[in-house]
Structure 1
Amino acid sequence: MDSNHVSPMRVAAVVAFYMGAALVMVFVNKTVLNSTPDTPLLFLFLQLTIAVILLHATALFSSRIEIPHWDLHTAKKLLPVVTINIVGLVFNTLCLREVEASFFQIARGLVLPLTIAVTSVTTHSHPAARVIIAAGIVTVGFFIGVAPAGNLPVTSIPSPISLFYGVFSSLAIAIHTVLIKSSLPYCNNSTIQLAYWTNAGSAILVAPFVLLLGEPARILELSASPEWNMKVFVWGSLVTGFFGFLLCVAGLLSIKVTSPVTHMFSSAARSVIQTLLGVWLFQDVLTVNRVTSLMTILSGTMYYTWIKATNQAQAPPPARPVDLEALNRSRDDKDESNDVQVQEKKATGSD
């Protein structure tokens, strides 16, 4: 599907769907990671597995949901997007565990410039100057949030390892966002099939590391402790598994009907809402740096939205399809008229 011919209402609906699912995922994830910080990969594996089960269950009740057949050739073609997906998810989870929910998007501030860079390299194109300026404004907003603030409590200061996780998460997300469009043809251009391959493949890839790190044994140890609330882990896994399923489909749809850069700018706008909710739900600290960061991000996002609206307004209307039948009729009428004129001239000359 060409994103240039998708209605604005459809794009807005898809982006809103994506943002809503992502916000629920972040805050439920953060709640579980606060309760059980030592089993991030097991928690991630359960989310992916639940998403796969939900896809199978949905396929039983809807003919529109088509579960792809396991095929080694297709699996090899999709290995890059599946691998980079699980790498991004792992670094996302580790980053969220280490930072406040309101700081999560700020810690991943390099997503925008890296997405533009990866898109330019893969498409052998140069982004427009105004797009670079808009991305620069948003990126400056992220780095304002990262800058040290003297009035922060020790528990709210991001550690170097959290920023390391954020940088690698940003790189993985940028590559994954660009790889999705090139991977869709291997799944019959079906976002559902790609979502299935992505979730199932990621679960298979992360499972050995869950066992090697001994995370199931840690859960057994925690279950023997009266201080640990197992309900938070169980319900958190179920809820994030469900919304992870929605988020996977929503993210794929967002990229399919927009562009990788537009998709990332919607993520930037989501970070503003996420920060405010973090302050409300987790009592995260909101400093002058972070307020300035939010305002800068909003400014860059609105500027980019204005650029896109201006480009669409200036774009030439699509060419009208040629009516070959009418064209042929016109030619036939012209030929008949010429024949009549020739016959009249011959008749006049004979007289």
Structure 2
Amino acid sequence: GLSLGAACGPPCPGLPALRLDPKVSRSVLPLSAIFIGMVTSNNLCLKHVGVAFYNVGRSLTTVFNVLLSYLLLKQTTSLYALLACGVIIGGFWLGVDQEGAEGTLSWPGVFFGILASLCVSLNAIYTKKVLPVVDGSIWRLTFYNNVNACVLFLPLMMLLGEFRTLYHFDKLGNPSFWGVMTLGGVFGFAIGYVTGLQIKFTSPLTHNVSGTAKACAQTVLAVIYFEETKSFLWWTSNLMVLGGSFAYTWVKGLEMRKVQEDPNVKSSERNETGV
């Protein structure tokens, strides 16, 4: 679709002509595998928990950022940033406790939420790493990532018996269902493209922080839409997650500014601070 649009449509500097290069596709494959894990764990998390709890269930992305930065990049984290991560973890466990008190806790949902947090963090880091392979083009990265994902999802669906479920699905011929699915696909593509742009021009950290802000708005809208009543401690858990996330951002922002203002710091260290 993107190739056809680039070839037949009016000239557009942001939409290059696309062709499938197996070598590039293999280079993007690790990102595609992480992308599949992210999409799958996100959906499974939402299957087992309410939309309102989704923010808390998915709140450990920043914590995984710190762990992965140490394990993959051998980067250490300052004490203040670690304290902010401690607040996030405290908010996560308080949210889990309050869901249990309300009788709505789902441990599979919590597990998939943690897994989704890990995949989101890995996705942001690997997007930054893979961009040079596609010459920094978000269109090309989106194209290769989606093609790879379509192929990789097939054996996963076969392994989990999803083809039989799909065959017996009673709304397969329902136009309304396909309308909603198409709309969801358009929004999903748009989110993926904008996410890539944000990571390209800022950093994985900035992307994860804006994702936290999005989750906050999502939580409030979900509570209003479903007319739910939540306890004071439940809201406190959300505020702890958000407060810890923004405190971490503030600390890292100060550290990045200090590094950029120091002429003795190497350029590689400047880039690492933004992870």
Q: TM-score, normalised by structure 2?
A: 0.82
Matched residue, 1:293: 237
Matched residue, 1:68: 18
Tell me if structure 2 keeps the 8 A contact 1:184–1:194: yes
Matched residue, 1:159: 106
Matched residue, 2:151: 204
Q: Which of 64, 82, 85 does residue 132 from structure 1 map onto?
A: 82
2:29, 2:17 → 1: CA distance?
18
1:187-202 matched pairs, under 5 angstroms = 187-202=134-149
Matched residue, 2:261: 316
1:45-56 matched pairs, under 5 angstroms = 53=1, 55-56=2-3
Opposite residue 143 of structure 1, the aligned amino acid is: W
Matched residue, 2:170: 223
**Structure 1 residues 163 and 313 mapped into 2: Cα distance closer, same or farther (>3 Å)?**
closer
Other structure's SS at 1:65 match: coil
1:168 is displaced (CA, Å) by 1.8
Other structure's SS at 1:223 match: coil
Tell me if structure 2 keeps the 8 A contact 1:82–1:202: yes
Matched residue, 1:104: 54
**Structure 1 residues 288 and 217 mapped into 2: Cα distance closer, same or farther (>3 Å)?**
same
- Structure 2 portions without partners, runs of 5+: 265-275
Q: Which of 10, 19, 33 does residue 83 from structure 1 map onto?
A: 33
2:76, 2:187 → 1: CA distance?
36
Opposite residue 114 of structure 2, the aligned amino acid is: V
Matched residue, 1:278: 222
2:157, 2:66 → 1: CA distance?
33
Which deviations, in whole Å up to 9, do the C-alpha atoms of 1:57-90 show, x marking residues without a partner?
6533434212532222212211111111111211
**Structure 1 residues 123 and 312 mapped into 2: Cα distance closer, same or farther (>3 Å)?**
closer
1:205 is displaced (CA, Å) by 0.6
Matched residue, 2:270: none
Opposite residue 27 of structure 2, the aligned amino acid is: K
Which deviations, in whole Å up to 9, do the C-alpha atoms of 1:285-336 show, x marking residues without a partner?
42323200122123223423433554466542889xxxxxxxxxxxxxxxxx
Tell me if structure 2 keeps the 8 A contact 1:112–1:139: no
1:243 is displaced (CA, Å) by 0.8
Q: Give the total of aligned pairs.
A: 260
1:149, 1:187 → 2: CA distance?
44
Other structure's SS at 1:68 match: coil
Larger C-alpha radius of gyration, 1 or 2? Answer: 1
1:210-289 matched pairs, under 5 angstroms = 210-211=157-158, 213-223=160-170, 230-289=174-233
Opposite residue 209 of structure 1, the aligned amino acid is: L
Matched residue, 2:69: 119
Other structure's SS at 1:126 match: coil
1:302, 1:166 → 2: CA distance?
20
Tell me if structure 2 keeps the 8 A contact 1:115–1:177: no
RMSD value, Cα: 2.8
Matched residue, 2:267: none
1:213 is displaced (CA, Å) by 4.5
By relative contact order (CA 8 Å, sep 6+), the higher-ranking structure is: 1
Q: Which of 128, 138, 153 does residue 181 from structure 1 map onto?
A: 128
Tell me if structure 2 keeps the 8 A contact 1:269–1:297: no
Which deviations, in whole Å up to 9, do the C-alpha atoms of 1:247-286 show, x marking residues without a partner?
1111112222222223222222222111111112223442
> What is the percentage of aligned positions where both structures have the same residue?
26
Tell me if structure 1 keeps the 8 A contact 2:56–2:238: no
Opposite residue 100 of structure 1, the aligned amino acid is: G
2:120, 2:89 → 1: CA distance?
15
2:48, 2:175 → 1: CA distance?
22
**Structure 1 residues 287 and 57 mapped into 2: Cα distance closer, same or farther (>3 Å)?**
farther
Opposite residue 187 of structure 1, the aligned amino acid is: V
- Structure 1 portions without partners, runs of 5+: 1-52, 320-351
